[in-house]
Amino acid sequence: MTTSRRDFLLSGLGLMGAAVYGNELFGLLAQQAQAAPRAVGASKILIIIQMSGGNDGLNTVIPFADPAYLKIRPTIGIKPDVVLKLDDKVALNPNMTPFQDLYKAGKLAVVQGVGYPNPNRSHFRSIEIWQTAEPKKVKDTGWIGRYLDLANSGKAQLDNIFPAINVDPILPKTLSAQKVVVPSISDVKNFTFKADPRYEADRTAQLSTFNSIYQKYSLNRPYIEELRRVGLDTTQASDSIAKMVATYKDGAKYPNSGFGRGMQFIAQLIIGGVNCSIYNISIGGFDTHTNEQRAHEGLFRTLTEGVKALQTDLENHGLDKDVCMITFSEFGRRVGENGGRGTDHGAAAPMFLIGSNVKGGIIGDQPSLTDLDDGDLKYKIDFRNVYASVLDRWLGADSKAVLGDRYDMLDLFSRA
């Protein structure tokens, strides 16, 4: 694949913490910084949460009433007296109390047995399958990237200042598009001119010199000219984003972790009025080949506390009805435990959707623990059914144009 002039320029701007679509972006962003905070009823927002590593669905949404569960997992199985029951058949892991609270409030949907035909157990390939929504062949664009291309086609340039924001260091293929470039911004502090914070006078002088050089330097070369303009606009943009989130006040307590801080940063951007419809964030550590129960304690607390904190924050600012969160992992785990008090790469697993307009409840049936596919759960719902439902019924898109085929809708939203 050839590298375009635009891609070359964008790939060289990583020092500022973002890839941008062009030299006009940050000038317009400065204008947006003067706008009011986000209005209630604005366009819908989707937050994608990747549980990286391959999460064990059976110890997440636990079929505690099925006697086969503890028989096949005598060491790592969760006992019925400690699970967080959702109904008389399934329960949540005991470290997921915030999700139980959301479920009771009707704001959490559990989609059971999600997968796809002929599952792949390689981390790299399976992540790619979930991120591109294409199990049969390698694809250059992600499912959200294709949505962004379609949603922004025909619009005035940069009509949507940030179509999506990645709150991770590395851009996932989920957001890879042909026409739209997505910035990676982990927090406001990192999206700024780098200087020693102990010496504000020096920082001011360095920034002034930087701007002066970029303003005066001129060569009759397109690459240099575009880099010059982007350099100037980037420094202005960092100040603009800082202003947009400056009025944010904590509306909830977030976990003290990278994931927790990322979720709070998303809240700051939404509440501050940043014009963005898609956010992506990940939490790693779910490749639990050994000591799974111990690993899950911290992972599930961090995940569920971060999600509930963001939901609460949005509720306290009156913006919760505009936002839906969705979780996924590249695969589930084998039904049987291994010799290391853990589990190995498997297939089907549950997904979660969270939000005030999510239709809370359990979608689909728990896959059988005895009728297996070479030791793996047989999937009940294709993950593209979930994607299609989110695209059509939440984002208002044409899922067939994005996914290349029509998939049955799931009843996931109470009102969109």
What does the alpha-carbon distance between residue 129 and residue 116 come to, in Å, rounded to a whole number?
10
Mean pLDDT of 232-257: 80
pLDDT value for 199: 66
In angstroms, the CA 23 to CA 60 distance is: 45
Give pLDDT, residue 373: 97
pLDDT tens for 40-96 read: 555 899 999 999 999 999 999 999 999 999 999 999 999 999 999 999 999 999 999
Q: Which residues contact 329 (CB under 8 A, 6 or more apart)?
A: 50, 51, 52, 53, 54, 55, 130, 286, 349
C-alpha 54 chain-centroid distance? 15
User: Cβ-count burial of 65 within 10 angstroms (0-12 exposed, 13-18 middle, 19+ buried)?
Assistant: middle
Q: Would the pLDDT of 26 be above 70?
A: no
In sign, the C-alpha dihedral spanning 229, 230, 235, 237 is positive
Please give the pLDDT value at position 160: 55
pLDDT tens digits for range 158-192: 455 678 999 999 999 999 999 888 888 887 766 66
The pTM of the whole model exceeds 0.85: yes
Residue 303 tokens read as: 């995940």
Average model confidence (pLDDT) for the chain? 86
Question: Could you state, in order of their start, the residue ranges of all structural domains in the chain?
Answer: 5-403
What confidence score (pLDDT) does residue 233 get?
A: 58
Supply the pLDDT for residue 11: 39
Q: Packing angle between helix 292-316 and helix 97-104, nearest 10 degrees?
A: 40
- Mean pLDDT for 204-208 is 67
Extract the tokens encoding 197. 């914070």
Dist. CA 125–CA 127, nearest whole Å: 5
Residue 158: the pLDDT is 46
**In 296-380, which ranges are E strands?**
323-328, 349-354, 361-363
Percentage of the chain exceeding pLDDT 90: 68
What confidence tier does 395 reach under pLDDT thresholds 50, 70, 90? very high
**pLDDT classification of 242: cutoffs 50, 70, 90:** confident
Is residue 112 over pLDDT 90? yes
The confidence band for 225, taking pLDDT boundaries of 50, 70 and 90, is low
* Mean pLDDT (whole number) for 249-272: 95
CATH architecture assignment, domain 5-403: 3-Layer(aba) Sandwich (3.40)
According to the model, what pLDDT value does residue 161 have? Answer: 63
- Of residues 302 and 5, the one with the higher pLDDT is 302
User: How far is the CA of 274 from the CAs of 43, 62, 111, in angstroms?
Assistant: 12, 38, 30
Q: Are 371 and 378 in contact (CB under 8 A)?
A: yes
E-state strands within 29-163: 45-51, 61-62, 84-85, 91-92, 108-115
Confidence band for 16, pLDDT divided at 50, 70 and 90: very low
User: Can you name the residues that pair with 325 across neighbouring β-strands?
Assistant: 47, 354
Least confident of 224-233, 300-309, 370-379, 398-407: 224-233
- pLDDT of 414 above 70: yes
Instruction: Give the pLDDT of residue 157.
Output: 44
> What pLDDT shows up at residue 322?
95
288: pLDDT strictly greater than 70: yes
Confidence of residue 214 (pLDDT cuts 50, 70, 90): low
Higher pLDDT, 232 or 382: 382
pLDDT at residue 145, as a whole number: 98
Q: Which of 21-35, 235-249, 273-287, 314-328 has the lowest mean pLDDT?
A: 21-35
Percent over 70 (pLDDT), the chain:
76
Q: Could you tell me the sign of the dihedral formed by the alpha carbons of 127, 129, 130, 135, in that order? A: negative
pLDDT at 186: 83
Q: Is the dihedral angle over the CA atoms 65, 67, 68, 72 positive or is it negative?
A: positive
